[in-house]
């Protein structure tokens, strides 16, 4: 297999695209160190644990994208990193940004749905 003996990291592994990437990497023989936001949420990780090869070659880590050092143990020893994680910031704390965000979301929703 192409990836036999090689270890790679996939950030944001519970996401749609990253899940498929993890599946492909496992199929090709890679060991995958994958980060997710919350290891205690079965709905976010059970599909990864069910993948062929996951029991032997998938290692899940909890990591917070915006926390410095959170990914150190995940990427340690990896030959490559597939960075697919994305921060989810829906309601910023900055009082000047909130009204603008509400305006943009409201405009989008009113123009998208009848």
Tens digit of each residue's pLDDT (9 = 90 or more) over 35-83: 999 999 999 999 999 999 999 999 999 998 888 888 999 999 999 999 9
pTM of the model: 0.75
Contact 36, 10 (CB under 8 A): no
Write phi, then psi, for 7 (nearest 5 degrees).
Answer: -120, 135
Scanning the chain, the segments in alpha helix (DSSP H) are 16-27, 42-49, 54-57, 72-75, 97-112
What is the CATH architecture of 7-88? 3-Layer(aba) Sandwich (3.40)
């Amino acid at each position: 297999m192409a990836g036999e003996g090689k270890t790679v990291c996939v950030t944001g592994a519970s996401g749609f695209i990253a899940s498929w990437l993890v599946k492909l990497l496992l199929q090709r023989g890679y060991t995958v160190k994958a980060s997710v936001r919350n290891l205690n949420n079965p709905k976010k990780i059970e599909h990864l644990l069910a993948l062929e090869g996951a029991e032997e070659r998938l290692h899940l880590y909890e990591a917070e994208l915006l926390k410095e050092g959170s990914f150190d143990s995940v990427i340690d020893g990896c030959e490559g990193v597939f960075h697919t994680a994305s921060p989810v910031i829906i309601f910023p704390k900055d009082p000047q940004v909130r009204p603008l965000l509400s305006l943009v979301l409201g405009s989008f929703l009113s123009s998208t749905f009848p």
